[in-house]
Structure 1
Amino acid sequence: MSVRSAWLLPNGQTREDTRLTPVGTYAPESEMRTRDGVIAGGAPFAATSAGAMSLQIGVGRALVQGTDAQGAYPVSVDAPAVLTFTDGEAQFARIDSVAVRVYDQLFDQAGQNLATVEIIRGTGSATPTAPSMPSACLRLWDVTVPPGASAGTGGIPWASALGDRRRFTSAYGGIIPRGYGLAFTGTYDGQYRDNGTGLERWNAAAGAWQAYPPTPARPISTKQVTAAPVNQSGAFVDFTAAAWPRITFTVPPSGAVFVTVGGQVSNRSTAASTAWMTWRATGAYTEAHGVLNGLSAQAGRVIGTRRVYRDGLTPGGQVTLIPGWNISSNAGTDVFVTDGQLTVEFVQ
């Protein structure tokens, strides 16, 4: 095993140290801290069985964060490391962790300047948990050691004992690859990560990772079930929810939507008679039935649609659209408001 770290040895680093360690890979985690993690590429720090109680850790590169005062250590492992686990406890299982660890005598009590891959031993328990990591230590793998495990009893069942705990990092502005665990917050507005199925962007104002590009919301619509009773004239009337279901939607971040109403309207009672198919809005946005959003006919029949644009709505607000109708008179000659459909399209 050969483990190298840049900016650690007091007598200077070799040219090979500088070439092999990932200097410049700094994804900020706070004002002074760097996100530690594995550098993607191939299968860094892959774990394979090397015997009943031994595990081989493959080559790889990483960044190991110490305290704020220490800063972050670029590390590379350029030859496989074989680690041997101590025998299992008599009664309980335990979880040991394999980690890249940096010792720096200016900041710890070990009295040496050294980067290494080592086992951090856990504690046997009826419900074992992984050990806490010391400072300047990056967890790679958890290994469950069964009670009584030893070379003479068959050792560690590697197929089921390994828990992959490698998390990844990237350079500033880069996309953080998916690794162990996605339960971490972003550190600056516009940071990107790969969640395994697509990209996400950190929205600092919302305090959340959001799909990027945003997933377009599909239009939603509702259809008229029964014809308007046309038993009132001269006033706009709401359809009952049973006759034409309402639409309730959440205003998108743009604060804008298109609303379309369409169907058949007719009134040939007189040359001046009219029929209307409309909608009104309640909730985070209000708008009345009327000429600004309705589809109408005068002294005849119209089959068509009316699409209108509405902006300036409050993002995240809940709005309900209620279909309506109006006739000016009813002498029984082709008077109807029917076959309606109301649709909301979200503007991204």
Structure 2
Amino acid sequence: MNLRSSWVTETGQTREDTRLTQTGVTTMTNPVQVRSGVLPGSYGGQYRLSGFWTFGSAAMSATVSEGRAVIQGEISQGVFPVTLPASEVVTFAPGNALYSRKDLLVLKIYDKLYDGGTRTEATIEIIQGAATQDPQAPAVPPRCLPLYEVTVPAGASAGNGGIPWQSALKDLRTPVVALGGILPVEGPSLPGAYPGQYQDAGGALQRWDGGAWVSYPSALGGIIPSSASTTPASYTGQYRDSTTGRLQRWDGTTWVPVVAGPYFVDNRDYGDTTSTTYTSTLTGRINNPLTLSFVAPPSKAVVIGFGCKLRSTSPDHYAFMALKLMQGSTVISDLEDDYAVLAASQNMVSVSTMTRQSGLTAGATYTLTAYFRVVPSTPALKAGFDNTFIRVDPLP
């Protein structure tokens, strides 16, 4: 029978039986096997992962700090728990004369029942890489847990400065926790083993939904806080508090403001025209025409406000400012004197108006353009305009 047990049989319990039936410090990857990794924790609780932390302690030597880890063997072999109760020094071979290389610092399990050798022990070892123009780290053998990748420069030795430890060490450690525990992510985020498993991704608590890690606010249907605003969206209709303080909604492609607008544009340059028909260009202005684009809200309705300071060269002739509303090349609302702002004055006067525009297509982009004219007269008169503006407020 293949079923294994611990502490049941009176005789014959094997090392495999013991390893296969451990249920302590394990992060599952499937119903039988676990993830190899280092147990998290640090003195004083300041760091997520201190076990087997490594630092340069001499020109060609590094010190591996104390720690605990588990190393998964073959599926029938079980998991090997290992502990380094006190720090240990490892020494790297001198560098190649021409090229650098990348070595691996690993925890390695020797099991003669599976290796076919004579050793049965756990060791800290250096797996030396090949020295080439483009060095690559060596392959990881079975029953090995990589701790660090170490770049050994060409010519490195104890006599010429050794290994530059500040830049040579690449941390490869990954954490594991007890079954059901929240895993602190260090390094790559690996797939979960079961729906409902949790991990701390640094800026967000995440839950495995059976196919992906879903940020905890998403799983609750809550609003992602601004502190986790870089967390990817999980579904259309999800909300987040952006770093600018505006509530946003994921539309399936991008984050858009929940309440768009208000939209506003103005031009504070003075300009004039002698045109008796509506024109969008004012003489004397650098920037023409005055336009404003907006996105129609779900209510399909907006309030449009516009105005200016204007005058005409005769107190008996009116100056007009009106708006044209378009969606692409389609005119939605054309120019009409009845909806314009107007005044007849040789002195500058301020005029403005507001109107409701409904029946828009939600999510569509519209453009408003300002036009100006003066009533016909002989001789021709000028109408002057200053501080022109357009504002659009979406209605709920």
TM-score bracket, shorter-length normalisation = 0.5 to 0.7
- Residue 146 of structure 1 corresponds to 153
Structure 1 CA distance for aligned equivalents of residues 92 and 240 of structure 2: 42
Q: Is the 8 A contact 1:268 1:335 kept in 2?
A: yes
Distance 1:311 1:74 in 2: 63
Query: Compared with structure 1, are the counterparts of its residues 69 and 9 closer, same or farther at alpha carbon in structure 2 (3 Å cutoff)?
Result: closer
Instruction: Map Cα deviations across residues 259-295 of structure 1 (whole Å, 9 max, x no partner).
Output: 764422567979995722435445499744557xx76
Q: How many angstroms does 1:120 deviate by?
A: 4.0
Q: Which amino acid aligns with 2:150?
A: V
2:389 to 319, 331, 341: 341
Check if 1:49 corresponds to 2:56: yes
Q: Is the 8 A contact 1:48 1:56 kept in 2?
A: yes
Contact 2:105/2:148 (<8 A) preserved: yes
Deviations 1:43-93 (A, max 9, x none): 624331233322223356789899999999999876545433233224311
Partner of 1:177: 202
From 87, 92, 99, give the equivalent of 1:92.
99
Native 8 Å contact 2:100 2:151 kept in 1 = yes
Match of 1:296 among 341, 346, 360: 341
One of 143, 147, 168 as aligned partner of 1:161: 168
Contact 2:341 2:352 (8 Å CA) reproduced: no
Are 1:232 and 2:262 counterparts? no
Change (3 A) 1:248 1:297: closer
1:312 corresponds, among 350, 362, 365, to 362
1:150-190, Cα deviation, whole Å (9 max, x unpaired): 44554323234233456445995554128xxxxxxx94554
Aligned pair count reads: 311
Q: In the aligned structure 2, how far is the partner of 1:76 from the partner of 1:250?
A: 63
Give the secondary-structure state (helix, strand or coil) at the position aligned to 1:201: coil
1:1-348 to structure 2, matched below 5 A, reads 10-12=17-19, 18=24, 21=25, 23=27, 42=47, 44-45=49-50, 46-58=53-65, 79-99=86-106, 118-133=125-140, 140-151=147-158, 153-164=160-171, 167-168=186-187, 172=197, 174-177=199-202, 187-188=212-213, 190=215, 199-203=229-233, 213=242, 215=244, 216=246, 221-223=265-267, 225-233=269-277, 236-239=278-281, 242-245=286-289, 261-265=306-310, 275-278=320-323, 280-283=325-328, 287-290=332-335, 296-297=341-342, 301-304=349-352, 306=354, 312-314=362-364, 321-325=368-372, 335-342=383-390
Superposed CA RMSD: 6.1
Following superposition, the deviation at residue 124 of structure 1 comes to: 0.5
Q: Which amino acid aligns with 1:202?
A: P
**Residues 177-204 of structure 1: CA distance to partner in whole angstroms, max 9, x if unpaired?**
28xxxxxxx9455479xxxx96412135
Distance 1:334 1:144, change over 3 A: same
CA separation of 1:154 and 1:35: change in aligned 2, threshold 3 A? closer
- TM-score, length-normalised on structure 2? 0.52
**What residue identity is the alignment partner of 1:98?**
L
1:11 partner SS: helix
Relative distance call for 1:254 and 1:74 in structure 2 (3 A) is farther
Give secondary structure in 1 for the equivalent of 2:18: coil
Q: Which amino acid aligns with 2:288?
A: W
The secondary structure found in structure 2 opposite 1:123 is coil
Unaligned 5+ segments in structure 2 are 1-14, 174-185, 204-210, 218-226, 247-256
Distance 1:342 1:270 in 2: 26
Structure 1 gap ranges (5+)? 1-7, 179-185
Q: 1:302 to 1:153 in 2, by over 3 A?
A: closer
- Find the structure with the greater CA-based Rg: 2
**1 CA distance for matches of 2:47 and 2:21?**
25
Percent of pairs with identical residues? 23
**Contact 2:323-2:368 within 8 A present in 1 as well:** no
Looking at structure 1, the residues matched to 123 and 341 of structure 2 have their Cα atoms a distance apart, in angstroms, of 79
**1:159 match: secondary structure:** helix
Normalized against structure 1, the TM-score is what? 0.57
SS at match of 1:338: strand
Deviations 1:30-52 (A, max 9, x none): xx998989858516243312333
Provide the secondary structure at the position in 1 that maps to 2:387: strand
- The answer to whether the 8 A contact 1:266-1:335 is kept is yes
Q: Distance in 2 between matches of 1:35 and 1:222?
A: 62
Secondary structure at the aligned position of 2:59 is classed as coil
Residue 205 of structure 1: CA displacement?
Answer: 6.8
